[in-house]
Structure 1
């Protein structure tokens, strides 16, 4: 599914805007074209998929919501603290982005734990501290299985409990770039250094859209 979305995105990127000649990122995901009547005239409108409203408990035991990310771009992913496979590499790569933009209020980071049984706020706090997170720009959140696993689909992320895999959970290792309108603007393999560098470049492109 991700490959199909990325193929469409690659084919539909708008490289130049009329005024600034600046590169722009695509909006990724299935879109709906609807026809409506405005002032007696038929108008075609395009509805882009967006991340729905959410509320999760963060590493400081504070309830945060989608409102905390209003007027920001953010990078989201899904992990768990005792993951023995892709998570350590993925989180170290996301840390590169955090360190580059630390203190920049225009960008945030959001890591959802898929281990709703073990990753309580104090566990997430300890994990964030050891990783090197020093402010609230990077949020680590937990919630019910239904809420976390349900919203992962909206980020185009696969998540699953699976006792047959190491750690007991299976999930995608993607880093997902979200804009002010909660649209997905990029999906990157968080275990790949080249993809991480691409993420950093495309964060700059997206930030430039809001200047």
Structure 2
């Protein structure tokens, strides 16, 4: 699998946000950031506009519309997959099940798995997939919608690779990234969803992010 796009896109994100040490309390905010000049009491002040996930609207496995309102007040983990994936998706889902099992009863956590093959992955297909994993849509949402919208969201906003490629098995190429998003829709972490050690780090960072918000 090619990782050129992912490396370039995420490299810029990390340079923007990863100056803090791993052991510091706050997780960095990843992605590009822009200075924003505003007037306060007649004086110009420079504020920082952080990269954030834009509005979205997709159907989940129970035909419910999932929007930012669904994850309001929550942190969430996003990934991109497809149910007929012959390569990394089974590993990703076995690792995401670890996340689900730890947080399935926590009302402040959600999981959003976006299908990059929505033509095949209808609501009915995703419902069957979720049932086989024995998960509840109140915590873990398997999402379907417009293909171009989903691919654009992955690459331009979640800063991960996901694209149609008829030359690879399954017809789609994507990274195994798990993306940690905070209550303000800022990216706070990027993890290899096929690697248990990386997901261990995700679990620790989720606890850190939950504690960070609770302590504010």
Q: So what's the TM-score if we normalise by structure 2?
A: 0.90
Q: Counterpart of 2:68?
A: 66
1:157 and 2:160 aligned: yes
Q: Counterpart of 1:19?
A: none
Shift of 1:34: 1.9
Q: In 2, distance between residues paired with 1:201 and 1:6?
A: 19
Q: Counterpart of 1:103?
A: 105
Q: Counterpart of 1:90?
A: 92
Q: In 1, distance between residues paired with 2:12 and 2:87?
A: 25
Q: Counterpart of 1:169?
A: 172
Instruction: Work out the number of aligned pairs and report it.
Output: 205
Equivalent position SS for 2:206: helix
Q: Counterpart of 1:145?
A: 147
Q: In 1, distance between residues paired with 2:135 and 2:103?
A: 12
Q: Counterpart of 2:205?
A: 202
- Structure 1 residues 4 and 202: alpha-carbon distance in aligned structure 2, compared to 1, 3 A threshold: same
Gaps of 5+ in 1: 17-22
Gaps of 5+ in 2: 1-8
Q: In 2, distance between residues paired with 1:137 and 1:177?
A: 15
Q: Note the 1:1-211 alignment, pairs <5 A.
A: 1-6=9-14, 8-13=16-21, 16=24, 23-153=25-155, 154-211=157-214
Q: In 1, distance between residues paired with 2:105 and 2:57?
A: 24
Shift of 1:8: 4.7
Q: So what's the TM-score if we normalise by structure 1?
A: 0.92
Shift of 1:36: 1.7
The answer on whether the counterparts of 2:96 and 2:193 sit within 8 Å (CA) in structure 1 is yes
CA deviations over 1:76-100 (Å, ceiling 9, x no partner): 0000001010111011101101101
The answer on whether the counterparts of 1:14 and 1:26 sit within 8 Å (CA) in structure 2 is no
The answer on whether the counterparts of 2:12 and 2:32 sit within 8 Å (CA) in structure 1 is no
Shift of 1:134: 3.3
- Structure 1 residues 92 and 8: alpha-carbon distance in aligned structure 2, compared to 1, 3 A threshold: same
The answer on whether the counterparts of 2:20 and 2:28 sit within 8 Å (CA) in structure 1 is yes
CA deviations over 1:93-127 (Å, ceiling 9, x no partner): 01101101111001000000000210000100111
